[in-house]
Amino acid sequence: MQTVHQDHCKKLRDDLSTQETIKLIQEDCTSICDDSYQEFEDRQTLPPFYDEEKFKKGQEFYHKHVLAMFVAKLFGLLTVISTPTILKILTFTNMSSTPLTAYKRYLATVYHMCVWYDNDFKPGSKLWDSINKVKMMHCSASRRHCVAGGQRILQRDMGITQFGFMGFAILTPEKVGIHNATREELESFIHLWRVIGYIMGADDKYNICKGTLEETREICEGLVNNIFIDNVKTKNANYQRLADALVNGMWAMQPFLEPTAFKTYLANLLSSVSNNNLEIPTVPLNLFQYFIFYGLQAYIFSLQFHYMRIFANFLQYLSFWLMHHFPFLAFYSYGYKNSFVAIFKERLGKRG
């Protein structure tokens, strides 16, 4: 049976070129990815392509660049939420529309992500429980949106969401602070996200991490050029509101965050990938925003130096610890009771 499944997965990969994958994700608005889709429910075992050694190397790569990975994920999420189908569900759920709700939602996302990078991947593990909890939340939002007359979460949305967690780390690593990454490290990180995408319910043909490093980069570049740039350029009011809420909400975790400066850096990041030299219009920056923008550039540049990277990673781990135990900036912004976020019944005691 496993051989049959492996052959099926291989056929899906062989049948779709990178350009066909990009086109499928760009155009398919019918294939659903929630518990109304049987295979979504059936994925309760490790995929046949799972490589434990490679998965663990992907986790090690994250910890080697933990601060840069946070930056890459932040820009990835700012990019992904511009997608109309995703934006509609986020707007409908109203769970990330203000700094407080965004703080709770995205800090929980950070906690889940840290569990995925810190634990063994096997049925019954904390990692497995975390992924199933996220799947349940996705299914709940998908069902409620459907009942209200909207569209369910789509397979294409899963591929697009994958980009939010790994896209910039693979496509433009140096521009988010990941310097001197080896091919083995990048391919291991891709494998990690292929496995997570599979367990989350993404069909292999929508999984943007299914190929080689070059193929994955080509797919990510295609998504930027064919989907993300146009979405970010539209200046949709709901997108601007949710993007500002995301950055302002996460300020309590990283006080160097500022919405206009970060959206300007994101525009430059996306434009640098564009194969048509497209530029995304940005608003003028004031003096403080210029300071944040150029300070971010300098910080990202400095991460190429070993001891600076070690120090930055220490600060990020310290930030994780503070958010679990003493989120003092959140106390100031949201009050004591609203400041603590738990993804399980008890707050995690680990570094992530």
pLDDT at residue 188, as a whole number:
98
Per residue in 46-71, pLDDT tens? 899 999 999 999 999 999 999 999 99
189: confidence class by pLDDT, cuts 50, 70, 90: very high
In the predicted model, is pLDDT for residue 237 greater than 90?
yes
Angle, alpha carbons 198-200-17 (nearest 5°): 40
Indicate whether this model's pTM tops 0.85: yes
45: confidence class by pLDDT, cuts 50, 70, 90: confident
Compute CA distances 99 → 15, 248, 284, 293, 330, whole Å.
Answer: 44, 6, 23, 21, 11
- 110 or 33, higher pLDDT: 110
pLDDT at residue 1, as a whole number:
38
Structure tokens at 132: 């199933």
Per residue in 262-316, pLDDT tens? 999 999 999 999 876 667 777 899 999 999 999 999 999 999 999 999 999 999 9
Residue by residue, what is the 3-state secondary structure of 213-240?
A: HHHHHHHHHHHHHHHHHHHHHCCCHHHH
Mean pLDDT within 172-200? 97
Structure tokens at 4: 């049959």
Per residue in 208-235, pLDDT tens? 998 899 999 999 999 999 999 999 988 8
